A = this chain, B = another copy of it.
Amino acid sequence: MLGTEQAILDAAERRIRGGGYNGFSFRDLAEDVGVKSASVHYHFPTKTDLVVAVARRYSERFYEAVEALKSDGSSPIDAWRGVFREALRVDDQMCLCGVLGAETNGLPSEVANEARAFFTRGIEVLSLELDEPSRAVEVFATLEGAMLLARSLGDVAIFDQATAHLG
């Protein structure tokens, strides 16, 4: 079933964003989805395969959401802040690649590469969008850090305080 595959990706994304790569098991996902762990291996032979797929889907959706907000008339910074903020508000969770980036060691290299790719792309895109391209790294870092703090302290207001100055 295609539904199972999506459900596995959903469950994996939720668990990674909550507790990181080493914070969940195939059995956890199987229980979340309502299948047996062997079935998870059927769809994603290894944990690396699975997490790479999660990261790619996350990244794709993320940049689509930014574009969508911009075509609604938001400024680049508002669009980026909006996407991060919604993720925090709706899911009460960290950025997937932020979590993976934090635990870079002890990650299969393929997975670490996906996190890197997400960041590299973000900096590139922001550089093209901003009036001052040199601010791209600053803006991105502040958004990631704001998410980290807000998530850890369990308070979305922290995110708003940390990002209010961006513009």
Chain A residues proximal to chain B, CB less than 8 Å: 15, 18-20, 22-24, 94, 97-107, 112, 115-116, 119-120, 134-135, 137-138, 140-146, 148-149, 151-153, 158, 161-165
Contacts and interface: CB of A to CB of B under 8 A. Distances in A.
A165 B162 CA distance: 14
Given A103-B23, A107-B19, A164 B142 contact: no
B137 A161 contact: yes
A102 B22 contact: no
Interface SS of chain A: helix
Nearest to A16: B103
Contact of A145 (B97, B103, B140): B140
How many copies of this chain are found per oligomer? Answer: 2
A154 to B, nearest CB: 8
Nearest to A136: B161
A105 B149 contact: no
Given A19-B106, A149-B101, A141 B120 contact: no
A158 B137 contact: yes
Contact of A106 (B18, B105, B149, B153): B18
Nearest to A99: B102
Contacts of A161: 134, 137-138
